[in-house]
Each structure stands twice: as C-alpha cells, then as structure tokens.
Amino acid sequence: MAMAASEIENLIKAAFPDAIITIEDLRGDGDHYACNVISSAFAGKNCVQQHQMVYKALGGRMGGELHALALQTSAPQN
C-alpha cells in the first residue's frame, strides 16, 4: 500500500513542528520519495541521529507502507 506525501509531511510535522519539509515522489508511485527536513531539533546531532529521529517520527512505516525514502536532514543555518 502506497503512502501519500502529505501523510509523510504530517507525521514529520507532528514530531518537528518547526520543520521545513520538501518531499518529492521520485517515481510517481507513492512508494519512492526524496525528503529534505530542516529543523532546529537536529542541532548538535550527527546525520545518523537526525535520520533516526525522522524514522521514529514515521512510526515504523519504513519498509512497509513507505518503501523507500531518500532522506536529507539539517539544522537551520543562522
């Protein structure tokens, strides 16, 4: 079952209310997305920790409803 980009965005926004999120459906199939998330919650965290935080926000949907997510994360630049 495919997952809508809006659902991904809502889940991430629920965990990171200040996030700036850009999502692209790479194949138009609702299964393969590229996502860029910028949030102050990532400050001081390394890339792996940031990605783990986003995966946690997705509530275990990776590998199930959401097949592939090319993820980029960062803290805002001052």
CATH label of the domain that carries residue 19: 3.30.300.90
pLDDT at 22 (0 to 100): 97
pTM metric for this prediction = 0.89
Number of folded domains that form the chain:
1
CB atoms within 10 A of CB 58: 20
Q: Which of 33, 13, 29 is nearest to 21 (CA)?
A: 13
Q: Are 72 and 37 in contact (CB under 8 A)?
A: yes
Confidence tier at 61 by pLDDT (50, 70, 90): confident
* pLDDT attached to residue 1: 63
Mean predicted confidence (pLDDT) in 26-55: 94
Determine the pLDDT at residue 65: 76
Identify the domain containing residue 30 by its residue range. Answer: 5-74
